[in-house]
Amino acid sequence: MSERKIRLATCSLAGCFGCHMSFLDIDERLFDLVELVEFDRTPLTDIKHCGPCDVGIVEGGVCNAENVHVLKEFRKNCKVLVAIGACAINGGLPSLRNNIDLWDCFQEVYQYEGGLEGGVVPNDPELPLPFDKVHPIYEVVKVDFFLPGCPPSGDAIWRFLTDLLAGREPKLDYEQLHFD
Amino acid sequence: MDRPETPDIAPLLTPILAHHGHDASKLLQILRDVQDACHIIPAGAIDLIAVHLGVPRVNVEGVAGFYSFLSTRPVGEYQVLFSGNITDQMLGQDDLMQYLCNKLWVESGKVSEDGLVSIAGTSCTGMCDQGPAALVNGWALTNLDRNRLDLIGELIRSRKPVAEWPPMLFETVDNIRRADVLLGEALAPGDAIRAVLARGARKTLAEMDNSNLRGRGGAGFKTASKWSFCHAAIVEEEGHVICDIGGHPERFIVCNADEGEPGTFKDRVLLNSYADLVFEGMTVGARVVGAGKGFLYLRGEYRYLLGQLEGVLKRRREAGLLGDNILGQADFNFDIEIHLGAGAYICGEESALIESLEGKRGRPRNRPPFPVTHGYQGRPTVVDNVETFACAAKIAAQGGAWFAALGTAQSTGTKLLSVSGDVSRPGIYEYPFGVTVRQVLADCGAEDPYAVQISGPSGTTISWKEFDRRIAFEDLPTAGAFMVFKRKRDVFDAVRNFTHFFAHESCGFCTPCRVGTALQQKIIDKIHSGHGTPSDLEELKRLGHLLKTMSHCGLGSSAANPVLDALAKFPDAFERKLAGLAFEPAFDLDGALETARKITGRDDEWAHL
Amino acid sequence: MSKTISIDGQSVPFEEGQTIMDAALAAGVYIPHLCHNPEFTPHGSCKLCTVKVNGRNVASCTMPAVEGQEVLNDTEELNADRLALTQMLFVEGNHLCPACEKSGNCQLQAVAYYLGMMSPHYNHFYPQREVDASHPDVILDRNRCIYCELCVRASRDADGKCVFGMSGRGIGSSLVVNSASGRLGDTNLAVTDKAVQVCPTGAILIKGKGFTVPIGRRIFDHYTIKQIQTGGGPHE
């Protein structure tokens, strides 16, 4: 049992993948990490669906129906769910649109100059349907841990992960705790 | 910003400003008059008022934005506000409001397209014994039913001025069901003042002390102590002592008739039928503390009493009971002015009331200093409840020992209860303190009583297991409300009503109350919609702790009482509404897609959650 | 002998007329606060500075210090409650730190760091609030207003102008400005006014000055708000 690696999944919902980029900023410590974990669904593995995992790390907020499906799949399969980054924690920059009427958003994207030819709002079921507002993931599923930052630094991520993987309550130093 | 164009407002404003002497402390009264005349506080009026009163525009805008009965957006020429207390709701208020809306083709909370009518809810209007109730342009309507609403609908459609509506629509009754010494034994106007003049102010204070009278507004502070602190107050202003014990200080007597606690209406009855007793008590207080000026702060919902109260004041002046040299006493000058509130429960808090009297936003002050030393205009001020002054008049006339012999040792005298809800005889019941809840329930014809809300939402919810508890400061203190719920009622509905009330009435000054009452409402609504979980109940307890311990004033610190009481005493009321043990999203996921579905015209499987 | 109170067991001297907060700040004892600024009349609205005096919670910025008071300040319970109030402030407005040029110099953010806030915890209100860019030199972003009324007090008491005021009530409270148009540009606010300097968050900002200090060199990047406000770090 002790040989079994921790199974880890990550994804980005309404985010910019900046947290994932920052994750890569742990640099050579990635070698230490892969000794401890194996990856399930992440942008690194290109696995499309999350299987049973120990830890799921979610970047980005919830801005559309598809986000909810992915988030719920993560919650269902991950023993521990972590919200990483400003967007997952309070909606972040995507939530700037919360002050804008959704109809205005659609018009701006599809109907005004520079939009699609014909100016028609698409009704394709393939397109994820957006919510009125962007929400943090903890308003949709239960979240166990939060790692703030936009993005959190590689050091903060490393500190957080090493605490978590060692079974400690993750704790950041003052300079590692940032909301930006 | 939404600033509707208005015609030249100056001709309308000039007489209003003149009537109030261009006095900035009358700002609220001025704005009330503007609202009456225009059905809005026009932006142009705010500019002019600011200029004429010599106050910053933001201050005028701040007051206009604070009170529910003032509006910087247009309301209907006829504004119907349905009383939203739980007792009104239990009498079918929600259906009645919808009925009138349908009848007049207007959406609740909006103004009809022709500007004729707007319909909305408002906090309890104090007619719980003769509800469902409402206000039309500020005037109290009672005993509403579909027949009356048919008539009201016709009157509005035919643009009949409210003053010409049939008087029966506005009929109110006292419903005094049990009278004791306060309501039962008459006191001739002037008797108490004569007794004070004969006995002297100091000895009258001693009688007040002996009576052990405690404030009837709910907090139960000993009245004699308050009066004596006010009398002894020394106020320093710019280094100068401007008044002291022996001199002729400027002190004020304020009667708190902002009876806003839902379910309470005993002050309404006192002011309707015992106004002399109340004014007599204020005059007694004035003599004891040495005040020259008094205010009656009358809640806006009771404006229908204003005319007759002014009449009583006029009569008392003519009888030498108010004004200069009262009853011929050379150094006894005292008069009373009535201020109307404008829909703000918080103004029942004494320091918020004083702010409102000064024409400001009704926001509780930081304490210390307390009003007894720094009250109205920074001067020593006594603020007491209507019933307290009535008791004081009785004590002045009949002595402290007489009063102290009534009730219990810690709670002397009698208490007026405003009984409403599931009872066959709602109304006013006066009992000596110490009466059991069970006794009251028997007397008022309570029907299979299950829970009683004592002293309104900010008070205590008691269950059927506690009916042997007593109405007394040492057991169940109360400002008077006594709302009865029968077994088949859902206690949760009352809790929900009360949380909405507090969120609506929070003044917004302090963080815990401003945000906490709004969060509490959100969680209760989530449970109501069938999406609650046990963690929501834990969150309610945590919020309750924050509200209770961190709030600026009594509104915030009691805003969680109905939730916490009901969680402790009626856990089933919550638990049977919970969705289950699992996490539930904070918002309606599928509902939050509705706008996008409408825009895209989609209704496929992926357009739903 | 000067009079003293005790804060968490530490003896703190005070002079007549000082509040508990005054005494604490003078002695270098940190009590978290947002609406308080020693230059202005105490306000007492944020309630972060709540301390326990003889078993009762009081706002330390408005409560006069009285000989012999036993004040509890840096306790687990009070800090947990302060964290909850801070979280309330975050969800009540629209505080998007990454998009705010006050980030790193923001007292709301710094208090949240100090109290170890990992998430806003409560569900967001996402209110619709107005941004007013009408003034040539100053921007007013109401999304970030926490109703501390420091600008209200500063404009009234220091600038003698009353540019700012409060309207609405409850969760619908709002910061209003002293012009018929409701626009900041139509008031007599000057960029040099004290009212422009005192905002603890990014609600009032001077235009053209954003992001001048790089990340890593902002006030709270390395120093806690406790260090800054009790003189333990560099002065602002």
**Cβ <8 Å between A102 and B592:** no
Q: Are residue B482 and residue B501 in the same domain, yes or no?
A: no
pLDDT score recorded for residue C233:
60
From B437's Cα to the closest Cα of chain A, the distance in A is 44
* Chain C residues bordering chain A (beta-carbon distance below 8 Å): 90-91, 94-100, 103-104, 109, 112-113, 116, 118-120, 123-124, 126, 128-129, 143, 215, 221-222, 224
Residue B2 inside a domain? The answer is no
Token reading at C232: 């333990």
Amino acid at C171: I
Q: Are B398 and B462 within one domain?
A: no
Q: Do B565 and B457 lie in a common domain?
A: no
Same domain, B472 and B384: no
Q: Do C170 and B514 touch (CB under 8 A)?
A: yes
B601 and chain A in contact, CB less than 8 A:
yes
Domain enclosing residue B115, as ranges: 78-170
Of residues B585, B587, B606, nearest to A129 (C-beta): B606
A141 contacts on B by Cβ (under 8 Å): 583, 585
Instruction: Determine the pLDDT at residue B90.
Output: 97
Average the pLDDT over each of A58-67, B140-149, C224-233 and give the range with the smallest value: C224-233
How confident is the model at residue B6, as a pLDDT?
Answer: 52
Interface of B with C in 2-21 (CB under 8 A): 3
How close does chain C come to A118, measured CA to CA in Å? 32
Residue of B55, B70, B510, B526 for testing the chain C interface, max C β-carbons within 10 Å: B510
Of C64, C147, C167, the CB nearest to B62: C167
| Interchain CB distance below 8 Å, A93 and C98 | yes
Walking along chain B (609 residues) 10 residues at a time, the average pLDDT comes out as 60 95 96 95 95 96 98 95 98 97 96 96 98 97 98 97 97 98 94 97 96 94 96 61 52 97 98 98 97 97 98 98 96 96 97 97 96 95 98 98 97 98 98 98 97 98 98 97 97 98 98 98 97 96 98 97 98 94 94 96 95
Residues contacting A131, CB < 8 A, separation 6+: A62, A63, A64, A65, B589, B592, B593, B596
Does a structural domain hold residue B529?
A: yes
A78 lies within 8 A of chain C by CB: no
Dump pLDDT digits (tens) for B574-590.
Answer: 999 999 888 999 999 99
- Of B170, B197, B226, the residue at which a domain comes to its end is B170
Chain segment A93-152, per-residue pLDDT in tens = 999 999 999 999 998 888 877 666 677 888 999 999 999 999 999 999 999 999 999 999
Nearest CA-CA partner of A105 in B599, C124, C98, B597: B599
**What are the tokens at B473?**
């400061």
Same domain, B222 and B362: yes
Cα–Cα dist B361/B363, whole Å:
6
Domain boundary, last residue among B466, B489, B512: B489
User: Any idea what the CATH number is for the domain that residue B551 is in?
Assistant: 1.20.1440.230
In the B/C pair of chains, how many CB contacts fall below 8 A? 128
The residue behind tokens 């903890």 is: A138
Domains of chain A and any CATH numbers: 6-95+130-176 (3.40.50.700)
The helices-and-strands tally (H runs, E runs) of chain C is: 7, 10
Whether B385 and B271 map to the same domain: the answer is yes
The distance from CA B464 to its chain's CA centroid, rounded to whole angstroms, is 28
Instruction: Tell me the shortest Cα–Cα distance from A35 to chain B, in angstroms.
Output: 34
Name residue, tokens 């299979």. B448
Question: Domain end: B376, B404, B432, which one?
Answer: B404
If you measure CA to CA, which chain B residue comes closest to C129?
B1
Q: Looking at the structure, do residues B214 and B115 belong to the same domain, yes or no? A: no
Whether B1 is covered by a domain: the verdict is: no
Chains A–C, number of C-beta pairs less than 8 Å apart: 70
pLDDT tens per residue, range C1-40: 589 999 999 999 999 999 999 999 999 999 999 999 999 9
Please state, for a pLDDT cut of 90, what percent of chain C lies above it. Answer: 94
Alpha-carbon gap: A116 to the closest alpha carbon of chain B (Å): 14
**Pair (B376, B522) in one structural domain:** no
Average pLDDT, chain C: 96
Q: Please report whether residue B582 resides in a domain.
A: no
At A116 the pLDDT is 65
Which residues, in sequence order, are CB contacts of B503 under 8 Å at separation 6+?
B517, B518, B520, B521, C170, C171
pLDDT value at residue C235: 43
Q: How many residues does chain C have?
A: 236
Same domain, B206 and B323: yes
Judgement on whether residues B391 and B316 belong to the same structural domain of the protein:
yes
**A150/C97 touch (CB, cutoff 8 Å), yes or no:** yes
Q: Please classify residue A35 by burial: count the beta carbons closer than 10 Å to its beta carbon, then call 0-12 exposed, 13-18 middle and 19+ buried.
A: exposed
Task: Return the pLDDT at B235.
Answer: 58
pLDDT of residue A119: 78
Going by C-alpha positions, the residue among C219, C220, C214, C194 that lies closest to residue C206 is C194
Strand residue runs (E) in B213-251: 235-237, 240-243
- Domain ranges for chain C: 3-74, 82-229
Give, in words, the CATH class of C82-229. Answer: alpha beta
Q: Has residue B591 been placed in a domain?
A: no
Nearest to C98 among A92, A99, A145 (CB): A92
Complex ipTM > 0.90: yes
Average pLDDT over residues C59-68: 97
User: What global pTM score does this model have?
Assistant: 0.96
Please write the tens of the pLDDT for every residue from C151-178: 999 999 999 999 999 999 999 999 999 9
Overall number of domains in chain B: 5
Contact B423, B447 (CB under 8 A): yes
How far C26 CA sits from the closest chain A CA (Å)? 25
The rounded distance, in Å, linking the Cα atoms of C30 and B60 is 38
CB pair distance less than 8 Å for A131 and B601: no
Query: For domain C3-74, which CATH number applies: 3.40.50.1240, 3.10.20.740, 3.20.20.70, 3.30.200.20?
Result: 3.10.20.740
**Is residue B605 in some structural domain?**
no
